[in-house]
A = this chain, B = another copy of it.
Amino acid sequence: MKLSSPQTLSQIASLIQCNYIGAPDFPVTGINEIHKVQPGDLMFVDHPKYYDKALQSAATIILINKEVECPDGKALIISDDPCRDYNFLTRHFSPWKMTDGHRGVDVTIGVDCSIHSTVVIGNHVSIGDRCVIHPGVVLYDHVNIGNDCIIHANAVIGSDAFYYKARPEGREKMHSCGSVEIGDRVEIGASCTIDKGVSGDTRIGAGTKMDNHVHVGHDTVIGEHCLFAAQVGIAGCVVIEDHVILWGQVGVPSDLLIGKGAVVLGQSGLTKDLEGGKTYFGSPAEEARHKFRELALIRKLPDVVEKLGL
Contacts and interface: CB of A to CB of B under 8 A. Distances in A.
Interface of A: 97-102, 114, 116-118, 120, 132, 134-136, 138, 140, 150, 152-154, 156, 159-160, 162, 164, 170-171, 173, 185, 187, 189-191, 193, 195, 206-207, 209, 211-213, 215, 217, 225, 227, 229-231, 233, 235, 247-249, 251, 253, 266-267, 269, 283-284, 293-295, 297-305, 307-308, 310
Contacts of A207: 170-171
30 contacts: A100-B117, A118-B118, A120-B136, A134-B159, A140-B153, A153-B159, A156-B212, A162-B209, A164-B227, A170-B185, A170-B206, A173-B187, A211-B215, A211-B217, A213-B213, A213-B233, A230-B233, A231-B233, A235-B248, A249-B249, A266-B269, A294-B298, A297-B298, A297-B301, A297-B304, A298-B298, A304-B308, A304-B310, A307-B308, A307-B310
| Copies of this chain, tallied across the complex | 3
Given A193-B213, A235-B248, 13 more contacts: A98-B132, A116-B120, A134-B159, A138-B153, A138-B154, A156-B191, A170-B206, A211-B215, A231-B251, A233-B249, A247-B253, A304-B308, A307-B310
Interface-centre pick from A118, A150, A190, A211 (highest chain B CB count, 10 A)? A190
A211 B100 CA distance: 25
Contacts of A233: 213, 230-231, 248-249
Identify whether the interface residues of A are mostly helix, strand, loop, or mixed. Answer: loop
Contacts of A206: 170
A2 to B, nearest CB: 25
Contacts of A247: 253
A190 B249 CA distance: 18
Given A235-B229, A251-B248, A251-B266, A300 B295 contact: no
A297 B308 contact: no
Contact of A191 (B117, B120, B154): B154
A212 B294 contact: no
Contact of A138 (B134, B140, B193, B307): B134
Contacts of A154: 136, 138, 154, 156, 191
A231 B295 CA distance: 26
Given A120-B118, A136-B138, A215 B213 contact: yes
Contacts of A225: 170-171
B164 A209 contact: yes
A212 B304 contact: no
A253 B150 CA distance: 24
A193 B212 contact: yes
A231 to B, nearest CB: 5
A191 B266 CA distance: 21
A155 to B, nearest CB: 8
Nearest to A159: B190
